[in-house]
């Protein structure tokens, strides 16, 4: 494949990945809740995602894998 095409695909993938990560809702109280010792924080809780949250999570995973595949392909083609 052409190196410039791979670079363009990487840029598009990166932009969509950033947007999807920003769209995801937080599943815990965040980093401050982990250090404050709140009793309700369970890092290993089984949280079921439904509807659009599940689609966004799955799409983020696919784009993340595609990101690493593109990086490897660019490195090989270089």
Provide the whole-model pTM.
0.70
pLDDT at 32: 60
Q: What is the pLDDT of residues 7-59, one digit of tens each?
A: 999 999 999 999 999 998 776 555 565 555 555 556 666 667 788 889 999 99
| Cα 53 off chain centre by | 13
Looking at per-residue pLDDT, the higher value among 65 and 42 belongs to 65
Do residues 62 and 1 touch, judged by C-beta distance below 8 A? no
- The count of other CB atoms within 10 Å of the CB of residue 76 is 9
Q: Which residues contact 57 (CB under 8 A, 6 or more apart)?
A: 24, 49
Q: Which domain holds residue 9?
A: 3-77
Count up the domains in the chain and report the number: 1
């Amino acid at each position: 494949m052409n190196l410039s095409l791979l670079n363009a695909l990487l840029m598009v993938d990166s932009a969509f990945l950033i947007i999807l990560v920003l769209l995801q809702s937080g599943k815990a109280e965040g980093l401050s809740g982990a250090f404050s010792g709140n009793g309700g924080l369970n890092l290993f809780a089984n949280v079921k995602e439904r509807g659009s949250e599940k689609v966004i999570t799955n799409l983020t995973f696919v784009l993340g894998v595609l990101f690493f595949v593109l990086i490897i392909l660019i490195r090989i083609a270089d």
